[in-house]
Amino acid sequence: MFTYILDDDTELRPLEPAHARHIYQLIDQSRSYLRQWLSWVDATTSVQASEDYVRAALTQSMENGGFTAGIWYKDQLAGIIGFHEINWNHRTVGIGYWLGENYQGHGLVTSALRVMVDYALLELNLHRVEVRCATANKRSRAVPERLGFILEGIIRETELLPSGYVDHAVYGMLQQEWKLKR
């Protein structure tokens, strides 16, 4: 795990149980916004639920080599970015991210995703990184598009949100493509 400085105002820090209160507060402040796109928001009803999430992320990190980090902006938790389970047989990983509503529009996720893709494809020597997001979530979709990911397809009605099932756009980046962009 690492702490990575993105710029003078922004850094990635590995999640720790001590961050649970910050995570819960950020979710609670942005609950109506986040629940449009994330199925787990309504189940996050306490600091304990956030601490359980952090502990599960730490266990996954120890067992699988991936990690989840807080995106800290001006020393405030702005969001989360992390690897889903790494498939070491196929050398692939998915990356997920979210930001609190008040932190949108600063390029935070774009910078964080660039670092995570570098780490996945160049340091861990993975072959492929994938990002999935709801097709109607234009801000989330703009992040992999901005970094040159390829839209590989749409998975129909793959996630149940409070508003109903949503389709996901699937974006992919291969190691050789990323190296050419560097």
Query: What average pLDDT does the segment 167-177 reach?
Result: 98
- 164 by Cβ neighbours in 10 Å (0-12 / 13-18 / 19+) ranks as exposed
pLDDT tens readout for residues 55-95? 999 998 889 878 899 999 999 999 999 999 899 999 999 99
| Amino acid at residue number 91 | R
| Res 1 pLDDT > 60 | no
Q: Give the model's confidence band at 34: pLDDT under 50 very low, under 70 low, under 90 confident, else very high.
A: very high
* Cα–Cα distance, 68 to 150 (Å, whole number): 24
CA atoms within 13 Å, Cβ hemisphere of 120: 34
pLDDT at residue 2, rounded to an integer: 64
Q: How many CB atoms lie within 10 A of CB 153?
A: 11
Domains along the sequence of the chain with CATH: 4-181 (3.40.630.30)
Nearest to 134 by CA among 109, 111, 106, 163: 163
> Using an 8 Å Cβ cutoff, are 99 and 109 in contact?
yes
| Amino acid at residue number 125 | N
Query: What average pLDDT does the segment 97-120 reach?
Result: 96
pLDDT tens readout for residues 52-62? 999 999 998 88
pLDDT tens readout for residues 92-102? 999 999 999 99
In percent, the amount of the chain with pLDDT more than 70 equals 99
In percent, the amount of the chain with pLDDT more than 90 equals 91
Phi, psi for 50 (deg, rounded to 5):
-70, -40
pTM, to two decimals = 0.94
Pair type for strands 92-99 and 68-73: unpaired
Query: What average pLDDT does the segment 114-122 reach?
Result: 96
pLDDT at residue 67, rounded to an integer: 85
